[in-house]
Amino acid sequence: MRLFIAITLSKEMKNALITYMHQLKKQGVEGRYVPAQNLHMTLAFIGEYGDPSKVKRVIEQVPMSHFRLTLSEQGRFGNLLWAGVKGNQKLKTYVKELRTALQQNEIPFDHDHFVPHITLVRKSSAKKPYQVKLPRAEMMVEKVSLMKSEMRGEKVIYREL
C-alpha cells in the first residue's frame, strides 16, 4: 500500500489553485496537471508500507497546533511546477516532530529536505514565457491525513485512510 501524510486543502484553496492552473493552460503551459481532487501538501512520503494503523498511531501521538497556510509564491523543481506557502514556523516544527516520530517508530519515509509546496503540474513545459500571478488564498490547518495512492486505470487517486 503506497502511503503518505498530507494536508488536504480547503475548497477555497483548491478553487484558487484550479483558477491559477486554468490561467497557466491558457498561456501555453503544458504538462500533467494535478487533478483538483488530488491537490494536497505532502508532509512525509512513506511509499509502500503494509501497516497503515501504525502510521495513524504515530500521527495521533504528535501534537499539532492549528495554523494558517497562505499561498505565497510559485516555484519549480526541474520540470515540476508548484505553489508555495508563506514560511510558517508551526508547520516546519510539526513536520520535524512528525518525521522524528516516524523514524523512532521505524516507519520508512523519504528524507528529502521539507519544502512546503503543493504540486500543480508535472513534466511542465512552456514554449514562451508566461505571466500568471499566484492568487491570494489561505486556510486554517486543523489536522493532517494519512493518504493512500491507488492506480485506477491510468489515473492516480489519493484516498484518505
Among residues 22, 66, 111, 117, which one is catalytic? 117
Exposure of 88 in the CB half-sphere (CA atoms within 13 A): 21
Nearest to 84 by CA among 8, 5, 10, 17: 17
Query: Residue 120: which residues within 8 A CB-CB, separation 6 or more?
Result: 17, 20, 21, 24, 33, 34, 39, 81, 82, 83
Residue 66 known to be catalytic: no
Nearest to 109 by CA among 117, 98, 118, 119: 98
Residue 40 known to be catalytic: yes
Could you give phi then psi for residue 98, rounded to 5 degrees?
Answer: -60, -50
- Hey, how many other C-beta atoms are within 10 angstroms of the C-beta on 125? 11
CA 91 – CA 114 distance, rounded (Å)? 10
Residues annotated as catalytic (active site), given as ranges: 40, 117
